[in-house]
């Protein structure tokens, strides 16, 4: 039987996930359930068995600012997701853009598509609504390094740079009720929250593959933005924790919206905030 070459060439079948942490592992499991071939990386030999048990092809991948030590087969895929957030350690934080650049150089001639997981921290709290067309002006160290990584990505892949900027991630093992439980005089209680549930974070990544809507930047954030005090008080009460006490003020805030998620992915959010 003759293959439909157009369908064959355009299909996305093999996915590599660099960084099978909280988000990366959840994405890998979902893709396995949808019958994708998934390769997953870890820097720890002990975790190889965990990936294998989930039917993820396990690879040991270590990277520095100079090089990536890995089986080249890990990068030979239809789509590579880079799911490595910057670490809090100050030295490693500053090395983050160079490490991402090292990974991108390795992937450049092997991965058909590359998706960089970034953060809405690239937008400053400038008391306004922002979307993918807004100027980036990070006001935190982590925001500055993830933006630097995005810029390096766009320089290497000018025609096919896909970035997903996640808002604050919540979900399994990240119960927001614990964030401020029992605390008093928490500032900025009237500021809107910008969050996304793991279910929707994974859902947006899957929809990107299904639509093959590569080459764009996506703000991945729930369309609901309750006041910080309302959200976290309710979250604490819902899990039986002591409700925090907030100062009813609105300082240094932003609302993160997306024009590209509805326009190119047509994604319907499943989890309310």
Interval 220-260: pLDDT, tens: 999 999 999 999 999 999 999 999 999 999 999 999 999 99
- Cα–Cα dist 219/262, whole Å: 10
- Number of Cβ within a 10 Å radius of residue 260: 17
Q: Which two tokens stand for residue 261?
A: 């998620």
Average pLDDT over the chain, rounded to an integer: 93
- In this prediction, residue 60 carries a pLDDT of 96
Give the pLDDT confidence of 9-63 residue by residue, as tens digits. Answer: 458 999 999 999 999 999 999 999 999 999 999 999 999 999 999 999 999 999 8
pLDDT in tens, 128-143: 999 999 999 999 999 9
pLDDT above 70: percentage of residues in the chain: 96
Q: Are 226 and 273 in contact (CB under 8 A)?
A: yes
Task: Determine the Cα–Cα distance for residues 79 and 75; give it in Å rounded to an integer.
Answer: 9
Looking at per-residue pLDDT, the higher value among 64 and 44 belongs to: 44
Confidence category of residue 66, pLDDT binned at 50, 70, 90: confident
**pLDDT at res. 10:** 58
- The pLDDT, as a whole number, for residue 193 is 98
CATH 3.20.20.70 corresponds to the domain 11-172+194-224+254-265 = no
Domain boundaries, the chain: 11-172+194-224+254-265
């Amino acid at each position: 039987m003759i293959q439909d070459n157009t369908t064959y060439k355009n299909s996305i079948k093999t996915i590599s996930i660099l960084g099978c942490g909280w988000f990366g592992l959840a994405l890998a499991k979902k893709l396995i359930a949808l019958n994708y071939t998934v390769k997953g990386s870890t820097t720890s030999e002990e975790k190889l068995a965990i990936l294998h048990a989930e039917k993820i092809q396990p690879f040991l991948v270590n990277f520095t600012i100079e090089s990536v030590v890995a089986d080249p087969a890990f990068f030979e895929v239809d789509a590579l997701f880079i799911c490595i957030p910057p670490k809090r350690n100050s030295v490693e934080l500053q090395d983050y853009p160079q490490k991402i650049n090292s990974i991108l150089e390795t992937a450049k001639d092997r991965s058909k598509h590359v998706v960089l997981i970034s953060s809405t921290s690239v937008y400053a709290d400038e008391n306004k609504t922002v979307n993918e067309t807004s100027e980036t002006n990070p006001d935190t160290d982590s925001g500055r390094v993830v933006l630097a990584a995005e810029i390096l990505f766009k320089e290497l892949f000018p025609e096919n740079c896909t970035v997903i900027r996640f808002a604050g991630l919540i979900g399994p093992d990240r119960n927001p009720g614990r964030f401020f439980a029992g605390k008093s005089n928490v500032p900025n209680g009237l500021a809107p929250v910008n969050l996304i549930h793991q279910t929707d974070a994974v859902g947006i990544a899957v929809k990107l593959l299904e639509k093959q809507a590569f080459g764009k930047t996506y703000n991945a954030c729930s369309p609901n933005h309750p006041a910080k005090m309302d959200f976290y008080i309710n979250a604490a009460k819902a899990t039986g924790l002591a409700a925090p006490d907030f100062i009813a003020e609105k300082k240094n805030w932003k609302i993160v919206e997306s024009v590209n998620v509805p326009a190119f992915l047509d994604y319907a959010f499943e989890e309310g905030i």
